Amino acid sequence: MSTINITKQNFEEEVMNSDKPVLLDFWAGWCGPCNMLSPIIDEVASEVDSKVKVGKVNIDEESELANQFKVMSIPTLAL
């Protein structure tokens, strides 16, 4: 399974009501370290899909979620 794009609209269903732990990657397209980490996150998602759900949160599009998790810098990973 690949990563899931997490938005304010699907956060409750995909994260809060998930039957598996969820790894969230807070990122932005302009962030160099985020772009370097992205292929690794995608690989992890494909390796652990039966045990962990992996989601990505674009902080430019979902600033409310980033604020909710008190993201101060990116990339930030939260489990």
Q: Which amino acids are annotated catalytic?
A: 31, 34
Residue 21 DSSP SS3: coil
What letter does residue 62 receive in the DSSP assignment?
-
C-alpha distance across the termini of the chain, in Å? 18
The identity of residue 27, as a single letter, is W
